[in-house]
Amino acid sequence: MPEVAIPHVIGTLMLLMIMAAISGYAVSRNTQANLDISAVSLQEVAEKVASDIISVVDLSTISGNTSFTYKVINVPDSINNRGYNITLSQSGSSWQVVAYSLENSFVKGQAKLFFSSGDTSTPSVALTCVSKTGNFTIMSSGRTLQLLYGPTLSSGVGKAIGSAYKPVVWCQIYQDINVQKIMVGFGRLKVI
């Protein structure tokens, strides 16, 4: 009887190995699909935030407003139930918005901004990005606002530190010798 048991054992082991291989393939395909979905969503967030930055800078430059201008942005609290960061980075002479996953930093979306630090069409304008964190209080339309700012905006701002804080993009235009400079950044804004 032992000669019948050995083929059964070998056959059963082979079936188990095939099932494990199929399960592994299915899990890897599902993981890749989730990464692809996250990348597309992060690309959409980066493009939306880039558009918001452009509109804030345009509003400030067209109106000649040399003070603080901001716009509340609508970004999701998470993407595919995962946290993410949004930041500005310089690539050569151009600036871009980068939204990347906190879990897998290689999963990201990028959107170039319309202007560059060496743009020949506007030679008297230089773009800079906030490189450190801080806070300040400002008066706007009779309201006192507190801004916590920095070079990066993390997802889930409202949930993490209370719904009174809203994610914003902001800019401030100032004159430095003969060059008009535009400083942009991210922040969390609260009406005090």
Could you tell me whether strands 94-101 and 166-176 are parallel, antiparallel, or unpaired per DSSP bridges?
unpaired
Given a contact cutoff of 8 angstroms between Cβ atoms, the answer to whether 80 and 159 are in contact is no
Torsion of CA 40, 35, 110, 75, to 10 degrees: 60
Q: d(Cα 32, Cα 55) in Å, to the nearest integer?
A: 35
pLDDT for residue 191 is more than 60? yes
The pLDDT, as a whole number, for residue 109 is 93
Mean pLDDT of the region 153-176: 74
Mean pLDDT of the region 71-79: 88
- pLDDT, tens digit, 9 for 90 and up, residues 107-150: 999 998 876 444 444 434 566 777 777 777 877 777 888 888 88
**46: number of CA atoms within 13 Å, CB side?**
25
Could you tell me whether strands 125-129 and 179-191 are parallel, antiparallel, or unpaired per DSSP bridges?
parallel
Strand partners, 82: 79
pLDDT for residue 177 is more than 80? no
Total-model pTM = 0.76
The pLDDT, as a whole number, for residue 91 is 77
Element spanning 60, H or E: helix 2-63
The pLDDT, as a whole number, for residue 162 is 55
Average pLDDT value over all residues in the chain:
80
pLDDT for residue 101 is more than 80? yes
Higher pLDDT residue, 97 or 156?
Answer: 97
